[in-house]
């Protein structure tokens, strides 16, 4: 008979995700991950498998959290344009209690397309973000808030790229003023 797990697997995954986010995949040791999760090696292996499996699960968790946040910001806004502006501001001013940058952007820069499974997770977030933003842009175009000079999907791709660029700027020490300028330009370009 298997012993029941004596730790909160969701909390452990969240904690290890932060290690990967802060340090990157290669620099994160299993000892770092065990310490963050506050569990023994066998428990972590038993729940998640090896380091790579844990990393893939961390990327999936991050993707789900980010997409949920974006959808929430858009849903709670009074208009599609305001929702997009909220998403852009959120990307440019992340909460203080999270590592800088974006786990997926950091991962894309660290591993690129060298790991097929990792590349799939990165693409899932980027493409899902574009789909969500495309729907918001279309609504904004229908309401006359967002320019129709460009296709909604093209605008959404540009916004998603701007978000990724913002996160990279944050990792390189760009000033808040610089980031706000980038966000302001992205929003000015799409507004009618």
pLDDT at 1: 46
**Whether residue 150 has pLDDT greater than 90:** yes
**Whether residue 149 has pLDDT greater than 90:** yes
Residue percentage of the chain with pLDDT more than 70: 97
Q: Residue for token digits 């969500």? A: 132
Structure tokens, 62: 């991050």
pLDDT at 100: 78
Instruction: Give the residue, 167 or 154, on which the prediction is more confident.
Output: 154
Q: Residue for token digits 């849903």? A: 75
Domain ranges of the chain: 59-190
* Contact assessment for residue 144 and residue 192, using Cβ atoms and an 8 Å cutoff: yes
Largest CA distance in the chain: 65
pLDDT at 4: 47
Q: What is the pLDDT of residues 88-118, one digit of tens each?
A: 999 888 777 778 788 998 898 899 778 899 9
**Whether residue 57 has pLDDT greater than 90:** yes
Average pLDDT, the chain: 91
pLDDT at 6: 67
Residue 146, helix vs strand vs coil = strand
Residue 140, helix vs strand vs coil = helix
**Whether residue 23 has pLDDT greater than 90:** yes
CA angle, 67 then 68 then 70, to 5°: 65
CATH class assigned to 59-190: mainly alpha
- Report the C-alpha gap between 133 and 155 in whole angstroms: 8
Backbone angles phi, psi at 146, to 5 degrees: -120, 140
Q: What is the pLDDT of residues 29-53, one digit of tens each?
A: 999 999 998 888 888 888 888 999 9
Structure tokens, 176: 């808040």
């Amino acid at each position: 008979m298997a012993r029941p797990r004596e730790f909160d697997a969701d909390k452990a995954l969240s904690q290890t995700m932060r290690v990967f986010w802060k340090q990157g995949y290669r620099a994160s040791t299993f000892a770092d991950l065990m310490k963050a999760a506050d569990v023994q090696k066998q428990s972590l292996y038993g729940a998640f498998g090896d380091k790579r499996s844990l990393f893939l699960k961390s990327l999936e968790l991050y993707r789900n959290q980010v997409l949920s946040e974006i959808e929430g910001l858009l849903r709670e806004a009074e208009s599609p344009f305001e929702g997009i502006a909220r998403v852009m501001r959120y990307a440019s001013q992340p909460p203080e209690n999270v590592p800088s940058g974006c786990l997926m952007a950091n991962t894309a820069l660290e591993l690129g397309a060298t790991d097929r499974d990792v590349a799939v997770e990165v693409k899932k977030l980027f493409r899902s973000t574009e789909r969500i933003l495309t729907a918001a842009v279309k609504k904004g175009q229908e309401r006359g808030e967002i320019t129709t000079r460009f296709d909604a999907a093209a605008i959404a791709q540009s916004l998603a790229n701007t978000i990724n660029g913002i996160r990279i700027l944050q990792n390189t020490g760009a000033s808040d003023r610089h980031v706000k300028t980038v966000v302001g330009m992205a929003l000015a370009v799409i507004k009618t």
